[in-house]
Structure 1
């Protein structure tokens, strides 16, 4: 039996080694959900690179100290990602989105991007049907 989903809500994640050990044990998961996890910073989240061959879906909500750079460093290592949800993660900024992340976003089947109340990417996609569940995806060639 293989664990396919890992949902962590209101967890204390400051122990980098403990998080890394958890991720090693769960390395074959396809979906990772992190909600309101205290202490989830860039260095702790970096342990998620272990999922490079398995993760298809990531949902982040309320991960307020994770930055755009920390998110990008992990996302770009994941080869199978097709769904991304980032909500209320105030240190993830539209202004820090790189061309590599834009390319990754364009390949996703589903994208929900509302890292903070000032998110422009989410607003610019509104009404296009892009990034919504069951909708068409945006492709740049």
Structure 2
């Protein structure tokens, strides 16, 4: 029961992040203008930063969408399915894309935070791809067990 409660709470948090991410992506031009008043580099590279953060935001929302799909199967207590394998593989590719988009920021502004974000999403992408292979094997074992019963 406790484990299902944790998954339910996590699902709600993912839903909040998903819809909050959409709102943030849509309102990004206004946020960038506002940040430009405090950070001159955002004003100087407004268009470039808008595309970089907009692209990163869309990729992040897509990652959260895939996580939400996975959590639906967890809540149904049927998580070892091929759909989750695909979602993990897609998440890995999206994470690599997000790292690449953030690497573009290095052409305009180099900060330690940007380097850390790139590293985190590269590791996250690798982790997702490896986990998708693990899930694929688990799905195969599950399917073989289902056939023997």
Q: Same fold (TM over 0.5)?
A: no
Structure (1 or 2) with the greater strand fraction:
1
Higher relative contact order (CA closer than 8 Å, sequence separation 6+): 2
After TM superposition, the score normalised by the length of structure 2 is 0.27
Which one has a bigger Cα radius of gyration? 2
Superposition TM-score, scaled by structure 1 size: 0.28
